[in-house]
Amino acid sequence: MSRRPARFTQADVEKALRAALKMDPPWIVEIAPDGTIRLVPAPAAPAIAMQDVDPATAALNKWRAGRASQA
């Protein structure tokens, strides 16, 4: 039994992701079962106060910020 052709390629997804990252406000890449790739506006993320973040997540975010500043 042979494989059916791909409905979308990795290159198609990469192009859509690059386009979504360049757009402001942020967009989401949706891939439908039929292979249709669509960019839709991302819902507004609610602002999260630092006191709402559990200590483990806060420590991880601090570590990530430190790693990013070293790069």
What does pTM read for this prediction? 0.53
d(CA 70, CA 63): 11
Residue range 16-69, pLDDT digits in tens = 989 888 888 888 889 999 999 999 988 876 555 555 567 788 788 888 888 877
5: cis peptide before it, omega within 30°? no
Q: Token pair 């420590």 is at which residue?
A: 59
Nearest to 20 by CA among 37, 33, 36: 37
